Amino acid sequence: MRPRGGHLSTELSTVTVDNRSVASAAAIGVLRVAIDAPLRHPFDYLAPAGLAPAAVPLGVRVRVPIGRREAIGMVVDRAEQPQVSVAALKAVRQVIDATPLLDSALMQLLRWTADYYHHPLGEVIAAALPRALRTGAPCAAQVEWWRATPAGRDAVSATALHRAPRQQALLERLAQTAHGLSSADLALQLPGWRAAARVLLQRGSIERLELDAPAEASADAQPARSHAPESGRHAPALSAAQSAALASIDASAGSYAAWVLQGATGSGKTEVYLQCAERTLARGGSVLVLVPEIGLTPQLVQRFRARLAVDIAVLHSGLSDAARLAAWRAAHSGRARALLGTRSAVFAPLPQLGLIVVDEEHDSSYKQHDGGCRYSARDLAVVRAQQCGVPVVLGSATPALETLHNLDLGRYRGLTLPRRDDQALAPRLALVDLRAHAPHRGLSTPVIDAMRRHLAASGQVLVFINRRGYAPTLLCTACGWIAPCQACDARMTVHRASGQLRCHHCGAQQPLAARCLRCGFEVKPVGQGTERVEETLRELFPDQALVRLDRDSAARPEQLDAILDSVLSGTARILVGTQMVTKGHHFPGVSLVVVLNADQGLFSTDFRAAERLAQTMVQVAGRAGRERDRGEVLIQTQYPEHPLLRSLLSGGYAGFAAAALIEREAARWPPFGRLAVLRASTRSSGGALAFLAAARQLAPAAAAVRLLGPVAAAMARRADRYHAQLLVEGAERRPLHRFIADWLPQVETLARAQRVRYALDVDPIDIE
Ligand SMILES: [Zn+2]
Ligand SMILES: [Zn+2]
């Protein structure tokens, strides 16, 4: 949610729209500047004194006065006539960049994003830039440089410095060179030089400069793979299906085409990406590869570095600001011709873009969901490919229903990779009826027996449970008290390893209580989480090495890498994990997959829950199956007759998807209709609902659009705010967007008056 209004809008009221003066003003020429603020329109500014507006390129950053403060914005347009009275116009204070920071192709994508998601352009641009660039850092990497001043050169021979040998040495060293030395050079030559430099700088003996770094000297936080042995670049032979896919994608080079590369884990999708990338690079194009948030492992990065004979930049949310800036600069300058990144990398600058790959395109992490512009990086990748006239490859074992629908319509083209080992050896799926086999601490007897069998046959076992922590509930055995989150309509999850109770919705945490906070009696954890399943399995299989993979055990990329390594090397025999295990990792040694709680999500109010569950199940099941042996998948459930489980069992993902698409069409849900959701939250209960009801009243009449709600969110109170939503549905995209464009400014005014936080989400993936 984006805070709206407040002091910023009051400051901005000094710049008011005055149509009368626009009509009478002579053509004066203004720059339109998009500012990182919740404002629908760019602002008009005069060019800096002495510069014609035409002399300021579009896509450069400028410092501008706004109210009583200063902001950094981007020049997005020029105009003959200002939209405001001439008297209110102010001038740009400084033009930061000499050349555009964003080229016209990227600006086109950002404009499209702002229009489609009905989000202020200034905020969209800001989201596309590393923080350092938003605050005015130079576009090119710079190096710190030191040079002796004329006064300093004169002082070299003076005796004044004889008592300060470090200063003397530094000054002598600098005076020997005409152009001076960089900090990096000095650090090598004169240890402890910086303290001396400070004194000399104060005295005026030396000066400090910032120069644009030569391309090869700019520091990249992710060191470029310089010259790996040729053997590392050796491309394995392709299967017939891989070769066919490669040939098809490659034949579309230089023009827009959207390819859906459908293949199970281990079918060799990454190899197709790699060889497509190699061919694109060989033609002089650059390559953008998007991966899900968790999928960007050091292993994957290494694999690309080992194979592609170019510098590769990496962008993800875990980077420091400096590393993010370095990666962005490397891509922007054309030095890194391949970029691997998560969601926001869809906006990365890449001159000569020739290919876009979206791996695991169904993954929900491609959708921005927590504040800001709620874009889908997968969808924007397709738009970018279209705008740039290049192919885009959407890879997945379980494509989103939207993607399959686009295939049906002929908008996308399909490519299929069978499992490399053998399609006939797809894993056997079976349900374990928990009504007949009561589980003990989450595990039923058939599951434990199967585990023993597979471990004895030296297979690995993956146990999937989509809940981290020790137990989802802490219960008082005397009075029935359940540890609640103070800020949400939710229970606290027990995290025994860290001795905490944590709320998985707002992040609140407190020490794990040993006694009931109401009656003082003993409390006990109820239900299963990954930590507890790990504990149980260690008791049942004391001789088997076990690792756990969830957001707690793999908080850092190195931890994730170590866990994956132990499974891949075979050291770990049992892997307990959450959804993280499904993110594109292939475990060839796993012969048995156990799904402990399939039932979560079978009865959700969200029409997308079934799709997500089916994808998770198929992705988890896809981990089973050794190179030669047939894998086994056991799904524990209370509802073995549930249609979703039946369609998965009989028809696999394709069977499920066909049935689900028929249901969606009957209900006019996406992809057969268009959807947006207006979400709101307030501190008072009922405030959000009242706001949305009022917003509904403001809606212009539009026959092609249906409003549903408002309703309270499934979890109405979250992080001490009350949440509600109003659905906007339309059969066609254009009328729906026209309606939103008319309606949203009024909603905005209302929200400001009522101090409500709200956000519009176009193509939402979570309906509560
Ligand atoms: Zn109690
Ligand atoms: Zn909470």
Of all ligands present, the nearest one to the C-alpha of 522 is 1
pLDDT of residue 304: 92
The letter for the amino acid at 606 is: D
For the ranges 26-30, 403-407, 705-709, 739-743, the lowest mean pLDDT is seen at 26-30
Ligand nearest to the CA of 504: 2
Q: Which ligand is nearest to the CA of 516?
A: 1
**Gap from CA of 490 to ligand 2 centroid (Å):** 6
**Among the bound ligands, the one closest to the CA of 492:** 2
* CA 641 to centroid of ligand 1, rounded, Å: 38
Cα 474 to ligand 1 centre (Å): 11
Ligand nearest to the CA of 518: 1
Distance 530 CA to ligand 2 centre (A): 20
Predicted confidence band at 33 (pLDDT cuts at 50, 70, 90)?
Answer: very high
Instruction: Kindly give the distance from the C-alpha atom of residue 484 to the centroid of ligand 1, in angstroms, as a whole number.
Output: 13
Indicate the range of 11-15, 335-339, 443-447, 626-630 predicted with least confidence: 11-15
Q: How far is the CA of 491 from the centre of ligand 2 (A)?
A: 8
Query: 514 CA to middle of ligand 1, Å?
Result: 11
Q: Which ligand is nearest to the CA of 489?
A: 2
Instruction: Give the integer Cα–Cα distance in Å for 658 and 618.
Output: 15
Tokens of 761: 């989400």
CA dist 115 and 361 (Å) reads 23
User: Distance, CA 482 to ligand 1 centroid (Å)?
Assistant: 8
Q: How close is the Cα of 484 to the center of ligand 2, in Å?
A: 8
Contact yes or no for 531/578 (Cβ under 8 A): no
State the DSSP H helix or E strand holding residue 77, giving kind and residue range, or none if neither: strand 69-79
Q: What is the dihedral of CA 706, 378, 581, 633, to 10 degrees?
A: 70
Task: Return the CA Rg of the chain.
Answer: 30
Least confident piece of the model among 117-131, 529-543, 574-588: 574-588
Among residues 627, 566, 527, the alpha carbon closest in space to that of 266 is found at: 627
665: which DSSP letter?
A: H
Q: Give the ligand with the smallest distance to the CA of 482.
A: 1
Distance 432 CA to ligand 2 centre (A): 34
Residue 550 Cα to ligand 1 midpoint, Å, equals: 31
- Write out pLDDT tens, residues 147-167: 898 888 888 876 666 678 888
Tell whether the model's pLDDT for residue 612 goes beyond 70. Answer: yes
Give me ligand 2 centre to Cα 478, in Å. 25
DSSP 537-596: HHHH-TTS-EEEESTTTT-SHHHHHHHHHHHHTT--SEEEESGGGGSS---TTEEEEEES
Return the ligand number nearest the Cα of 506.
2
Is pLDDT larger for residue 226 or for residue 192? 192
Q: Tens of pLDDT along 468-523? A: 999 999 999 999 999 999 999 999 999 999 999 999 989 999 999 889 989 999 99
Residue partners of 177: CB distance under 8 A and separation at least 6: 147
Whole-number Å distance, alpha carbon 470 to ligand 1 midpoint, is: 20
Ligand nearest to the backbone CA of 486: 2
CA distance 106 to 481: 55
pLDDT of residue 212: 67
DSSP 127-182: HHS-HHHHTT--SS-EEEEEEE-HHHHHHTSSSTTTT-HHHHHHHHHHHT-SS-EE
Q: What is the pLDDT of residues 71-117, one digit of tens each?
A: 999 999 999 888 888 888 999 999 999 889 999 999 999 999 999 99
Separation of CA 523 and ligand 2 centre (Å): 20
**330-355 mean pLDDT:** 95
Residue 500 CA to ligand 1 center (angstroms) comes to 19
Q: What is the DSSP letter of 628?
A: S
Tens of pLDDT, residues 384-443 = 999 999 999 999 999 999 999 999 999 999 999 986 554 445 677 899 999 999 999 999
What does each C-alpha distance from 742 to 177, 337, 703, 706 come to in angstroms?
65, 42, 14, 15
Q: What is the pLDDT of residues 236-247, one digit of tens each?
A: 889 999 999 999
The reported pLDDT for the residue numbered 418 is 83
pLDDT of residue 299: 79
* 291, 270 contact by CB (below 8 A): no
How does the average pLDDT of the chain come out, rounded? 87
> Residue 232: is its pLDDT beyond 70?
no
Q: Which of 87-91, 176-180, 249-253, 632-636 is predicted with the least confidence, judged by mean pLDDT?
A: 176-180
- The ligand placed nearest to the CA atom of residue 481 is 1
CA distance 352 to 336: 12
Instruction: Quote the tokens at residue 213.
Output: 């770094």
In order of 456, 459, 469, 500, 535, the CA distances from 497 in angstroms are: 30, 28, 8, 8, 11
Expressed in angstroms and rounded, the spacing between residue 692 Cα and the centre of ligand 1 is: 39
Whether the link from the prior residue into 671 is cis, omega within 30° of 0, is yes
Question: Is there a contact between 736 and 727 (Cβ–Cβ < 8 Å)?
Answer: no
Amino acid at residue number 223: P
For residue 606, what pLDDT is reported? 80
Between the CA of 472 and the centroid of ligand 1 the distance, in Å, is 17
The alpha carbon of 607 and the centre of ligand 2 are apart by a number of angstroms equal to 24
Which ligand approaches the C-alpha of residue 524 most closely? 1
Residue 504 Cα to ligand 2 middle (Å): 7
Does residue 225 contact residue 340 with C-beta atoms inside 8 Å? no
- pLDDT (tens digit per residue) in 668-693: 899 999 999 999 999 998 999 999 99
Residue 426: its pLDDT value, please?
A: 62
Q: Which residues pair with 510 in a beta bridge?
A: 501
Nearest ligand (C-alpha, residue 493): 2
Q: For residues 536, 539, 545 and 548, what is the CA-based torsion angle, rounded to 10 degrees?
A: 20
Q: Span 720-729, mean pLDDT?
A: 94
Question: Residue 325: its pLDDT value, please?
Answer: 92
In the reported structure, the alpha carbon of residue 599 is separated from the centroid of ligand 1 by a whole-number distance in angstroms of: 29
Check whether 291 has a pLDDT greater than 50: yes
| Cα 118 to middle of ligand 1, angstroms | 50
Residue with tokens 């300060």: 164
Output the six-digit token pair for 48.
């800096």
Task: Please tell me the number of the ligand nearest to residue 501's CA.
Answer: 2
Asked if the model's pLDDT at residue 735 lies above 90, the reply is yes
Cα of 206 from ligand 2 centre, angstroms: 57
Alpha helix segments (H runs only) across 361-457: 377-388, 401-408, 445-456
Dig out the tokens for 317 from the structure: 């949310």
**In angstroms, what is the span from residue 520 Cα to ligand 1's centroid?**
6
Question: Which stretch of DSSP H or E encloses residue 187?
Answer: helix 183-189
Strand ranges across the sheet with 574-577:
428-433, 632-637, 590-595, 460-464, 574-577, 546-549
Query: Tell me, what amino acid is at 290?
Result: L
Count CB atoms within 10 A of the CB of residue 31.
29
Instruction: Compute the Cα dihedral for 399, 402, 403, 404 and give only its sign.
Output: positive
Q: Token pair for residue 528?
A: 């299963």
Ligand nearest to the CA of 519: 1
User: Ligand 1 centre and the CA of 488: distance in Å?
Assistant: 20
| pLDDT on residue 662 | 93
Q: Is residue 14's pLDDT more than 70?
A: no
pLDDT at 688: 95
How much is the pLDDT for 19? 38
User: Ligand 2 centroid to 512 CA: how many Å?
Assistant: 15
Looking at the chain, the whole-number percentage of residues with pLDDT higher than 70 is 91
Cα of 486 vs centre of ligand 2, distance in Å, is 7
Residue 211 DSSP one-character state: E
What is the 232 CA–ligand 2 centroid distance (Å)?
48
> Can you give the pLDDT at residue 12?
34
CB 480 within 8 A of CB 491: no
Residues 33 and 82 sit within 8 Å (Cβ to Cβ): no
Q: What is the pLDDT of residues 687-716, one digit of tens each?
A: 999 999 999 999 988 788 999 989 999 889
pLDDT above 60: residue 722? yes
- pLDDT for 81 equals 86
Q: How far is the CA of 267 from the centre of ligand 1 (A)?
A: 54
- Asked if pLDDT for residue 223 goes beyond 70, the answer is no
Residue 226's pLDDT band (boundaries 50, 70, 90)? very low
Q: What is the CB-side half-sphere exposure of residue 281 using CA atoms within 13 A?
A: 22
Whether 214 shows a pLDDT value over 70: the answer reads no
Cα 750 from chain centroid?
31
Please give the sequence-ordered ranges of beta strands (E in DSSP) within 601-671, or none if there are none: 632-637
pTM value?
0.84
Q: Both tokens of residue 540?
A: 């049942």
Mean pLDDT of 264-277: 90
Q: Report pLDDT for 190.
A: 85
Ligand number with the minimum distance to the CA of 502: 2
Q: How far is the CA of 233 from the centre of ligand 2 (A)?
A: 49
Query: Cα(472) to centroid of ligand 2, in Å?
Result: 13
Give CA torsion, residues 623, 625, 626, 627, to 10 deg. -100
Cβ-Cβ contacts under 8 Å for 67 (sequence gap 6 or more): 8, 10, 11, 12, 14
Q: What is the rounded distance in angstroms from the CA atom of residue 379 to the CA atom of residue 387?
A: 13
| Sign of the Cα pseudo-torsion (715, 719, 721, 727, in order) | negative
Distance (angstroms) between ligand 1 centre and the Cα of 21 equals 72
- Expressed in angstroms and rounded, the spacing between residue 705 Cα and the centre of ligand 2 is 35
Q: How far is the CA of 505 from the centre of ligand 2 (A)?
A: 5
For the CA atoms of 570, 575, 581, 582, the dihedral, rounded to the nearest 10 degrees, stands at: 80
